[in-house]
Structure 1
Amino acid sequence: MAAARLALGRVLPGSSVLFLCDMQEKFRGTVSFFPQIVAVSARMLQVARMLDIPTVLTEQYPQGLGPTVPELGAQGLRAVPKTSFSMMVPEVERLLKARPGLRSVLLCGIEAQACILCTALDLLERGLEVHVVADACSSRSQVDRLLALSRMRQSGVFLTTSESLILQLLRDAAHPHFKEVQKFLRDPAPDTGLLGLFQGKNPLFS
């Protein structure tokens, strides 16, 4: 029964946590589609706040790579500094252990082939479902991004989009926060270059 539930990949606000990975100033000019990735992640953060979904924010070597960019809207969240290529540092481990009902991690940020991939694999090893928000993850190289998404999918990660994930969390237009959340869904999420990765007969995703 548990295996069937895991394969289904259903997400519920009460058993989910949002991870925001390393969206920092020094990446602004190097990561492909950086402004769009941040905008989509900001939408995920706003919805998480409305639905009382806890959020974990990390910064990779902030002394050298700078702080989280202000347009993410993460003011008020304490960023966990790290040098590890996984978000699963001791402080984050402690935060997750304090949520015994946790089942799903919703993962946004950069870079796909580095911290996103390493974090996803660590979470899978701990028996958690990982939902990578593909339109909220990028890399400097689109080849690295493509291969990282494929690698994660091979390992059991659920690849999804921000809008799909938000609607799964709401489940019903009768949800008390639907009208508030609907404001973020009236316009499609900004283009983050995914179509170019998936176009044609791509053997990595067949």
Structure 2
Amino acid sequence: MASLARNLGKINYKSSVLFLCDMQEKFRGNIQYYPQILTVANKMLQGAHAMDMPVIVTEQYPKGLGPTVSELDVSQLKVYPKTQFSMLIPEVVDKLSSMKETKSVILCGIETQVCVQNTVLDLLEKNYDVHIIADACSSRTMVDRMFSFQRMKEAGAFITTSESMLLALCQDAAHPNFKPIQKLIWESAPDSGLLNTSIKGETAL
């Protein structure tokens, strides 16, 4: 009897896009580990540029919540304003539809239990592979953050880390763009509380 095909979540930079979700100024002071999350998201943004990958950026109600943080240089990118609690507003859907080779979405941003999670579910419904960069996603509370990771994993998304993803995109140290990626991972990602223990004493993920 033939075994069912498994989706291993293997990724190729030629068919991938980076999503940056609502990483805005007004969230400073409210999001757990926000400075660390921004540091990691910036690594992913620089990595996407190094690999010549497309990047999609959204901002939740920028009139009230401000622009994307200065740590992330999105000045050369189209930024999509929204009020919907998902990045998949019609304009983003149209953009994705025009990217015929795209199979995988790499996702960073906030808040994990709201716009990140809803984006993930919408993307999975459209049959994209979704890879969540755990050290580049956060929430106002660690409870929301951790249970959202669990929820998205159960739905079929892949939970990974920035270093793992950047090296997966390269696939080989002989890749012509490995050197800039190597520089990005030379210093380990800052701690963002992912190994905090739960009530039962199990690791958060």
Q: TM-score, normalised by structure 1?
A: 0.94
Within 5 Å, which residues of 2 pair with 1:15-26? 15-26=15-26
Given the alignment of the two structures, is residue 201 of structure 1 paired with residue 197 of structure 2, yes or no? no
Q: Secondary structure at 2:132's aligned position in 1?
A: strand
Q: Check 1:197–1:25 CA distance in 2 against 1; reply closer, same or farther (3 A cut).
A: farther
**Equivalent pair of 2:48/2:54 in contact (CA under 8 Å):** yes
Q: Secondary structure at 1:194's aligned position in 2?
A: coil
Corresponding letter in the other structure for 2:147: L
Give the stretch that moved more between structures: 129-138 or 188-197: 188-197
CA distance in 1, matches of 2:59, 2:197: 27
Q: Secondary structure at 1:72's aligned position in 2?
A: coil
Structure 2 residues not aligned, in runs of 5+? none
Q: Check 1:63–1:152 CA distance in 2 against 1; reply closer, same or farther (3 A cut).
A: same
> What's the counterpart of residue 160 of structure 1?
160
**Equivalent pair of 2:167/2:181 in contact (CA under 8 Å):** no
> What's the counterpart of residue 4 of structure 1?
5
> What's the counterpart of residue 28 of structure 2?
28
Q: Secondary structure at 2:10's aligned position in 1?
A: coil
Q: How many residues align?
A: 202
Given the alignment of the two structures, is residue 88 of structure 1 paired with residue 88 of structure 2, yes or no? yes
**Aligned-residue offset at 1:99:** 1.0
Structure 1 residues not aligned, in runs of 5+? none
Within 5 Å, which residues of 2 pair with 1:113-132? 113-132=113-132
**Aligned-residue offset at 1:75:** 2.0
CA distance in 1, matches of 2:181, 2:112: 27
**Aligned-residue offset at 1:53:** 0.7
**Aligned-residue offset at 1:201:** 2.4
| Shift >6 Å, 4+ stretches | none
**Aligned-residue offset at 1:197:** 5.0
Q: Check 1:62–1:197 CA distance in 2 against 1; reply closer, same or farther (3 A cut).
A: farther
CA distance in 2, matches of 1:12, 1:201: 33
Corresponding letter in the other structure for 2:46: Q
Q: TM-score, normalised by structure 2?
A: 0.94
Once the two structures are superposed, residues 11-33 of structure 1 have per-residue CA deviations (whole angstroms, 9 ceiling, x without a partner) of: 10111000000000110110011
**Aligned-residue offset at 1:196:** 0.9
**Equivalent pair of 1:112/1:144 in contact (CA under 8 Å):** yes
**Equivalent pair of 1:146/1:197 in contact (CA under 8 Å):** no
Identity over the aligned pairs, expressed in percent? 53
Corresponding letter in the other structure for 2:177: H
**Aligned-residue offset at 1:200:** 3.9
